[in-house]
Amino acid sequence: SQQGEEDPQALSIQEGENATMNCSYKTSINNLQWYRQNSGRGLVHLILIRSNEREKHSGRLRVTLDTSKKSSSLLITASRAADTASYFCATDARQAGTALIFGKGTTLSVSS
Amino acid sequence: GAGVSQSPSNKVTEKGKDVELRCDPISGHTALYWYRQSLGQGLEFLIYFQGNSAPDKSGLPSDRFSAERTGGSVSTLTIQRTQQEDSAVYLCASRKQGAGYEQYFGPGTRLTVT
């Protein structure tokens, strides 16, 4: 069963705008990761936030984690057409390093 | 260095046939994962290998699915008597023990069962 649920399912924005995607999960976690997938093939790791962290930055990415609400958000600032992809959150609920449990993803479309 | 590779990239097979999908992880990565992604869906965990430990097979959907990992490196996912609902992209990922929890994914094998 899916652990994470992203919303919105789809997001369309203009270049230069910010994109915010949300993820909710059901059980306690060790860490939460965000991945990007282009064209329905391999995934690329973007950022990891540990359960004892509340916010993390990496370049144009900002991730927040609220363990009390079992939710996370991914903010992409100053979006570019190249950011067009599907974005997934993933958790390793059972034990850190074991299999990830993915949500269904948010499809982001950035138009120029 | 080379990333995770998978072969074939695409496979079309007839219902009832067996298929084998191959994954070559990044050299030195002791953990290897198989996931399945059906159209428009998230990734579904299938099986996880970690070093010489017994694999975690808890995600395999039926006994038609099996996987092995030889010599702690290459892995093969076998689907016997394929069904149309097996059509999906099968993704392999590897991870280096003790180097964080990031998984490195291969490009996947798109399986179509006709």
| Chain A to chain B Cβ contacts (< 8 Å) | 63
- Which pLDDT tens digit goes with each residue over B4-30? 999 999 999 999 999 999 999 999 999
A103 interface with B at CB cutoff 8 Å: yes
Token output for A86: 């599907």
A97 interface with B at CB cutoff 8 Å: yes
Query: How far B17 CA sits from the closest chain A CA (Å)?
Result: 24
B54 interface with A at CB cutoff 8 Å: no
pLDDT at A85 over 60: yes
Exposed/middle/buried for B41, CB within 10 Å: 0-12, 13-18, 19+? middle
Q: Which residue has the higher pLDDT, A28 or A13?
A: A13
pLDDT attached to residue B22 = 98
In percent, the amount of chain A with pLDDT more than 70 equals 92
Q: Do A45 and B104 touch (CB under 8 A)?
A: yes
The C-alpha atoms of residue A93 and residue B103 are separated, in whole angstroms, by: 15
DSSP conformational letter for B96: -
Q: Do B100 and A40 touch (CB under 8 A)?
A: no
pLDDT at A40 over 90: no
Q: How confident is the model at residue A1 (pLDDT cuts 50, 70, 90)?
A: very low
Q: Are A70 and A24 in contact (CB under 8 A)?
A: yes
Mean pLDDT of chain A: 91
pLDDT at A48 over 80: yes
pLDDT at B1 over 80: no
The three-state DSSP-derived secondary structure of B9-62 is CEEEECCCCCEEEEEECCCCCCEEEEEEECCCCCEEEEEEEECCCCCECCCCCC
Residue range A42-60: mean pLDDT, rounded: 95
The C-alpha atoms of residue A48 and residue A55 are separated, in whole angstroms, by: 10
pLDDT attached to residue A96 = 65
**Which of B23, B60, B90, B103 to mutate: most A Cβ within 10 Å?**
B103
- Which pLDDT tens digit goes with each residue over B41-79? 778 999 999 988 899 999 999 999 999 998 879 999 999
- Which pLDDT tens digit goes with each residue over A14-32? 999 999 999 999 888 889 9
Query: Who's near A1: CB < 8 A, 6+ residues apart?
Result: none
